[in-house]
Structure 1
Amino acid sequence: MYSQEITVRTGDSPTVADLTDSAQRFLAGAGRVDGLLHVFVPHATAGVAILETGAGSDDDLLAALDELLPRDDRWRHRHGSPGHGRDHVLPALVPPYATVPVLDGRLALGTWQSICLVDTNIDNPVRTVRFSLLPA
């Protein structure tokens, strides 16, 4: 197994950060292999999604999460900024991992698919992402 961690700065507002180029750079170090790329975020308040970016879908995802998980005082988990409890529910909807096929050393994503870090937690501006290649 081949593995690497990267650091992603997400800032102080909810964000969808495209990890696709970083994932492909990681794979370049492994050569022309087939297998599975596992992407994992070791945080209790972030997730990984496969979606289209740049055409509004990333903003639509954040808007949908705001509707499903409002940033208000309804949450029992109350440390951090107001409404932070919702950030701890996020990984149940956007899991902290994704697995993508790799063919000949390249991500086997669909035309409009990207691997994205989803982070609604405004209290933690820096995230770790772990890439692991499981060869076939």
Structure 2
Amino acid sequence: MPDAFTTRILNIATGTDETVTDLTHLCEQFLRETAAGRDGLLHIFVPHATAGVAVIETGAGSDDDLLAALHTLLPADNRWQHRHGSPGHGRDHVLPALVPPHATLPVIAGRLELGTWQSVCLVDTNTDNPDRKVRLSFLG
């Protein structure tokens, strides 16, 4: 029987623009290699103080809408107490309170159980850090 707990670190280049990066295909690939048809849970964790994980629709504008909403809620200006990095970088440190750095999703028969239009996404507004790590863990 395969291990009940398996984990892997992904290295994701998000670049120097604010971005919503779809990780769904990488999550599905990880499960094909590790879940072996079992039921369980997929946990996605971003070990960064300025990034988060969202389950949203992509490709129809929702990813851009999310970034626009974050601009409204967390303007990139000098109001923030946290003041190193780019102007307004303090807001990036508030982001994980609104877009948490983790998500736990059901896996049924080795497949990620998402709704029709749902995708697993890395949300990164920190233009100072173009390289991110994402930990995928399967418990089943």
Unaligned runs of 5+ in 2: none
Alignment of 1:22-41 (within 5 A): 22-30=26-34, 31-41=36-46
2:62 is aligned with 1:57? yes
Unaligned runs of 5+ in 1: none
Q: Name the structure 1 match of 2:11.
A: 7
- CA distance in 1 between counterparts of 2:110 and 2:130 reads 31
User: What code does the residue aligned with 1:81 have?
Assistant: S
Alignment of 1:1-136 (within 5 A): 1-30=5-34, 31-135=36-140
SS at match of 2:115: coil
- CA distance in 2 between counterparts of 1:77 and 1:110 reads 37
Cα RMSD, aligned residues only? 0.4
- CA distance in 2 between counterparts of 1:87 and 1:13 reads 13
Aligned residues: 135
How far is the alpha carbon of 1:76 from its aligned partner?
Answer: 0.4
Report the TM-score, using the length of structure 1 for normalisation: 0.98
- CA distance in 1 between counterparts of 2:78 and 2:103 reads 31
How far is the alpha carbon of 1:98 from its aligned partner?
Answer: 0.4
Identity of aligned residues (%): 67
Q: Once superposed, which parts of structure 1, at least 4 consecutive aligned residues long, lie more than 4 Å away?
A: none
User: What code does the residue aligned with 2:9 have?
Assistant: E
